[in-house]
Amino acid sequence: GAVVSQHPSWVICKSGTSVKIECRSLDFQATTMFWYRQFPKQSLMLMATSNEGSKATYEQGVEKDKFLINHASLTLSTLTVTSAHPEDSSFYICSAPRTGKLFFGSGTQLSVL
Amino acid sequence: QQQVKQSPQSLIVQKGGISIINCAYENTAFDYFPWYQQFPGKGPALLIAIRPDVSEKKEGRFTISFNKSAKQFSLHIMDSQPGDSATYFCAASLNYGGATNKLIFGTGTLLAVQP
């Protein structure tokens, strides 16, 4: 069964609004989680590393003020896309390591109108 | 040095055939090489993984072959089935087993298995 739960599966929002995506580790604690972004028919690009109790680490070129990450507990990380615009439309996927392996959530398809 | 190159971009195989996907890397510090399977609209699912201290790992119909000197690894899917039709990603990371597990993904291979 799934070890990482991600919600929502899809979301449609108006331009200028903010959207929050949740990622939960099921039955295990994750001090670190990762957020990826994937465009259609392309690979996964790491956006940021979410660290429980401290600031997230962003990859080069990722706007930290646009993509707010909060890892408030050992089982929950959230990604908030602030003031979303159509170019932010994408498939966002979280992941968490467990026993040396990286497990992914089911992804969130964000469409910004 | 952080790139993982994957080929082919797409692959068509007849049912029962062998699907082969190849990946190459530059960074010799990578110590964990997983393969992921992704269906449309879903997150990637871990298929099989290998560490550089072994040259081959087999799990059911899936086999990873690893060539450390050539810095290449490949996925073989035996007796390919239509249900195997998906996008496959190779990946590499540092610090196997550690909390980081920061994965670098290949570009993906779209596999279509024809009945």
pLDDT mean values, one per 10 residues, chain A (113 residues): 89 97 94 93 92 91 95 94 96 91 93 96
Report the residue of A43, A57, A109 to disrupt the B interface, i.e. the one with the largest count of B CBs within 10 Å: A43
How many whole angstroms from its chain centre is CA A97? 14
User: Which positions ≥6 away from B26 have C-beta within 8 Å?
Assistant: B1, B2, B3, B71
Q: Which of A6, A43, A101 comes nearest B106 by C-beta?
A: A43
Q: Is A12 helix (H, G, I), strand (E, B) or coil?
A: strand
Q: Per-residue pLDDT tens for B79-105?
A: 999 999 999 999 998 765 554 567 889
| Other C-beta atoms lying within 10 Å of the C-beta of residue A63 | 10
Question: What's residue B102's pLDDT?
Answer: 78
Q: What average pLDDT is seen over chain B?
A: 92
- Residue B43 touches partner A, C-beta closer than 8 Å: yes
Find residues 91-110 of chain A whose CB sits inside 8 Å of chain B. Answer: 91, 93, 95, 97, 99-107, 109
pLDDT at B100: 55
Q: How far apart are CA B10 and CA B109, in angstroms?
A: 5
A86 Rama sector, left if φ>0, alpha if ψ -120 to 50, beta otherwise: alpha
pLDDT for position B67: 95
CB of A95 closer than 8 Å to CB of A34: yes
The pLDDT tens digits for B7-59 are 999 999 999 999 999 999 998 888 889 999 999 999 999 999 999 899 999 99
Q: What is the pLDDT of residue B101?
A: 64
Written as one string, the DSSP assignment of B62-112 is EEEEEETTTTEEEEEESS--GGG-EEEEEEEESSTTSS---EEE---EEEE
Nearest-Cα distance to chain A for B42, in Å, is 5
Measured CA to CA in angstroms, residue B84 lies from A32, A83, A112 at distances of 31, 39, 32
Q: What is the pLDDT of residue B96?
A: 55
Length of chain B equals 115
Distance CA B113, CA B86 (A): 9
CA distance B70 to B58: 20
Q: Do B34 and A97 touch (CB under 8 A)?
A: no
Which residue do the tokens 């392996």 mark?
Answer: A101
How high is the pLDDT of residue B69?
A: 94
Q: State how far Cα B13 lies from the chain centre.
A: 17
Contacts of B96 in chain A (CB under 8 A): 100
Task: Write the residue in B43, B96, B99 that is nearest to A93 by C-beta.
Answer: B43
The pLDDT of residue B95 is 64
C-alpha dist (Å) from residue A2 to A70, B19, B48, B54: 22, 27, 16, 28
* Cα–Cα distance, B61 to B96 (Å, whole number): 25
Question: Which of B42, B103, B107 lies closest to A102 in CB terms?
Answer: B103
Q: Is A14 on the interface with B (CB under 8 A)?
A: no
